[in-house]
Amino acid sequence: MPSGGELMHQRQRPASPAESMTAPPPAAAIADTQRSFFRRGLTREIGFRAKQLTALRSMIVRHEDDVLQALNRDLGRPMAEGYATEIGIVLHEIDVALKNLASWAKPHRVRTPLILFPGSSWVYPEPYGSVLIIAPWNYPFQLAMSPLVGALAAGNCAVVKPSEMAPHTSCLIADMISSEFDRSYVAAIEGGAEETKALLEQRFDYIFFTGGAHVGKLIMAAAARHLTPVTLELGGKNPCIVDASADLDTAARRIAWGKFVNAGQTCIAPDFVVAQKAIKPALLARLSKAIGCFYGSEPKASPDFGRIVNAHHFGRLHALLGDGTIITGGEADAAQRYIAPTIIDGISWDDAIMQEEVFGPILPVLDFDELETALGALEVRPKPLALYFFSEDRERQEQVLRRLSSGGACINDTFAQLVNLR
């Protein structure tokens, strides 16, 4: 085993795609090896963590073009979009971690009850041990690497399970990690449900999962067998409320961008719009205009619009086009897995499109007379991952934030809460 200073420089021969998919390292062996390495104590040292984060950053920068090409092959991801939403975010998170590493890990004094006088009380941040990261397909690079940044910054070992539904990115991640890190410290295991099941049978010290609620329940159940703490970043039907006081030009552009980036396959994308009746026609017109500005009169030919990840999801989304009245879009091409940026009016709360997360480039629009009516309809629905409200009325902004619960919320913009790193 190399020393802490040598670990980040060790190289192994990158596995070929065939080797990566057919002969992954055994899950149990990796879990045992990482526990042994963690007990050596190297990962607790701030200098060690900083070196590994620096190595991770250098690795990503060297492979920028490879990552962008893999994302394009898996999702039709435009190059600029791929850098902004995947690579750029991860590099920024690494920079933030390196800047704050020492202060995050430093013990800090807290108040001591009088009954314990003259003693003192301290909180000592400590790593969990070995972390399992299960990444999704929609942002297959960023949502594998961002949790890895946090795990390494906190002094953990990590196993990354990329999504098999983005096979080119998965293979690249596995090759990059195996070339840069010893697997006793950071490992990547490719594969599908069987490989994930094998990993979940091991005792990890923390599990980070991004994906759908159904699989999230399975992850939670598996973790419960070992009492392993879990972070689940799941999706949901994220509402976007627009009231009569909103700046409609700005609202339309920001809603359209947030909805249709990555062809709508984003867990925090606006899932549906609830607009005040008085401004709904004007908002619909501006949304259609914004789509034209972003992707041209033929989005299918635009270099800036992606594709649906696979045939299964294309079929699911295509079936949702039957509800309501299509205002713009609606075109679909199964051969290219293409669904146009689509706005649908005439939707009710009972329609099929309102019963599940859309997770694609289809935006249903509902309406309301009074804000109280909209809030009443929304607060009985499952808590969303994101909430958006466009309004110039400060009292209404406060009312919405206090009344509706969500994983994160943003006023007069979309996605901004995601990149608000401190």
Residues known to be catalytic: 233, 267
231 has which bridge partners? 208
123 has which bridge partners? 108
Separation of alpha carbons 43 and 80, rounded Å: 35
Residues whose CB is less than 8 angstroms from the CB of residue 100 and which lie 6 or more positions away in sequence, other chains included: none
| Strand ordering across the sheet containing 230-234 | 186-188, 157-161, 130-134, 206-211, 230-234
In 3-state terms, the chain is what percent helix, strand and coil (to 5)?
50, 15, 35
Separation of alpha carbons 326 and 401, rounded Å: 31
Strand duo 121-123 + 108-110: pairing: antiparallel
Peptide bond into 118 cis (omega under 30): yes
328 has which bridge partners? 343
Separation of alpha carbons 390 and 240, rounded Å: 8
Residue 128, CA distances (Å) to 124, 228, 284 in order: 12, 10, 49
Separation of alpha carbons 115 and 117, rounded Å: 6
Residues whose CB is less than 8 angstroms from the CB of residue 173 and which lie 6 or more positions away in sequence, other chains included: 140, 141, 144, 145, 160, 162, 188
